[in-house]
Every structure is written in structure tokens, then in C-alpha cells.
Amino acid sequence: MYLHLAQAPQETYGIDLVEVLTESSLMVQSVLLLLVLMSLACWFIIGFKWFQFRRADRANKAFLERFWSSKKLEKVYEASSEFPASPVARVFQEAWKEMARIKKREDDEGGWMHSGFENVERTIHRARREELTRSERMIPFLGTTGSTAPFIGLFGTVWGIVEAFDMIPKDTGGMILDKVAGPMAHALIATAVGLLAAIPAVMAYNWYVRKIKVAHADVDGFASEFLNILRRHFFNK
């Protein structure tokens, strides 16, 4: 007589996101929704800033090529409108507009305005700060997400686990694990989602901070060269 032992059916385990969203507590669902929205916002910023920096790099190169190949600054100013995405071109435009105002005062009042160079220098510094602010726009959100998303996810996990253990006294059938396994698994998903939101945000934040430094250095280099040109050709009187 042979005894055949029936094999227990093998269960497959996996993550059912629909089940997680529908069966989790309201607090865990709110945490998951917040993390998903933060992640989507980060990916939008990553794509938008990549496109913005790419356009700015190309426009800067094209404008600088036009600037150094031209013999007249008036011609450069007329052509600068062809490079709207170039931070360097915008700094040049602001400086040249100030030069035009100084020239107009010179024609109206007679004599050279001795404070003109300081005015142009202040204008360039202000334009540089504006370009730095423009390049940094939305980047802090990446850093905020990278630093807070793991803790938000951890909060959702802790809250879900506390709710799961709160179900233990209500159990009368002895199947405690079956009662709490589902809610605890759903709660742990919050930590995973928090990390998934934070890791790309931190990587993108560090990369864009470096890009901002490089872009600002390009603007600073041009500003210094342009001020030297103005000092030699217009204010050295």
C-alpha cells in the first residue's frame, strides 16, 4: 500500500498595486498619492530643465561665436535677439541698453559721464543674478523631494503597521498572521515608493547643481571679458 502525500498548491506572491491602493487605509493611500505626485513633478522638472539647459548651451555657443567674430557691438546687439535662450545674450542686451542710456545722457548734457562704467557694471551684476535665479528655478523641489520622500514613505509605513497591529486584539480565530500580513505589506510599499521618488530626485538635483555652476561660470567669464572691452574702448578717456 502506497501512501501518496498530496502536494500543497504553490502560491505565487506579487505586488498588486490596485489591491494596495484599494485595501490600504486612508492615511497610507494619502501618503502613496502624495509620493506619486511628488515623483511625477520631479520627472517633469528633470525633463524641462534638461531641455532648458540644452537650449541654453547651444544658444550660448552660437551667440559667443557671433560676438567674437563681429567687429561692431551694434551689430551684435541687433543679432542678439536671435538667441532668446542664451543667458549670455540676455546679459549682453541689458549691458548694451545701459550703454545706450549713458550715450543719450552724454548727447543731452554734453561730456562723458564718469559714472557710466559703474552703472554698466551694476547692470551686468544684476543681469547675472537674474540669470542665476532663472537657472535655479524649480531645482530646489528636487532637493526637497530627495530629502523628504523617504521619511514621508516611512511615516506611511509606520502608520500602516500600527493599524495592522491594532487589528490583533479583534482577532478571535487565532489566525493573527493572516489578519496583519496584508496591511503590513501594504504599509511597507509606502517606504519603497518613497525611495523610488527620492533616488532620481537626488541624482538629478546633484547633476543640475553642477550644470548651474558651469552655466554661471560661462556668464561670469563673458561678463568679465565684456567689461574689459567696454573699459578699453569706451571708458578709457
Is the pLDDT at 224 greater than 70? The verdict is yes
Burial-class residue 235 by CB neighbours within 10 Å (0-12, 13-18, 19+): middle
Q: Considering the domain boundaries, does residue 14 fall inside one?
A: no
Confidence of residue 116 (pLDDT cuts 50, 70, 90): confident
Q: How many domains is the chain built from? A: 1
Is the pLDDT at 108 greater than 90? The verdict is no
- Rounded CA-CA distance 105/102 in Å is 5
Burial-class residue 133 by CB neighbours within 10 Å (0-12, 13-18, 19+): exposed
User: Quick one: average pLDDT of 148-154?
Assistant: 92
Q: Which of 49, 70, 24 is nearest to 207 (CA)?
A: 49
Mean pLDDT (the chain, rounded):
81
With a CB cutoff of 8 Å and minimum separation 6, the contacts of 200 are: 39, 42, 43, 46
- Rounded CA-CA distance 93/91 in Å is 5
Q: Considering the domain boundaries, does residue 10 fall inside one?
A: no
Q: Considering the domain boundaries, does residue 40 fall inside one?
A: yes
User: Quick one: average pLDDT of 191-215?
Assistant: 93
- Rounded CA-CA distance 73/198 in Å is 47
pLDDT, position 21: 62
- Rounded CA-CA distance 141/136 in Å is 10
Classify residue 1 by its DSSP letter: -
Q: What is the DSSP annotation of 137-152? A: TTHHHHHHHHHHHHHH
pLDDT, position 142: 94
Q: Considering the domain boundaries, does residue 57 fall inside one?
A: yes
User: Quick one: average pLDDT of 76-80?
Assistant: 89
Q: Considering the domain boundaries, does residue 50 fall inside one?
A: yes
Q: Which domain holds residue 123?
A: 25-233
> Which pTM was predicted?
0.79
Q: Considering the domain boundaries, does residue 138 fall inside one?
A: yes
pLDDT, position 12: 47
In the block, cell 535677439 appears at 81
Q: Considering the domain boundaries, does residue 30 fall inside one?
A: yes
With a CB cutoff of 8 Å and minimum separation 6, the contacts of 81 are: none
Q: What is the pLDDT of residues 22-40, one digit of tens each?
A: 666 788 888 889 999 999 9
Q: What is the pLDDT of residues 172-195, one digit of tens each?
A: 555 565 566 666 777 788 888 899
Rounded to 5 degrees, what angle do the CA atoms 45, 191, 170 make? Answer: 140
Q: Considering the domain boundaries, does residue 202 fall inside one?
A: yes
Q: Which of 125, 122, 134 is nearest to 87 (CA)?
A: 134
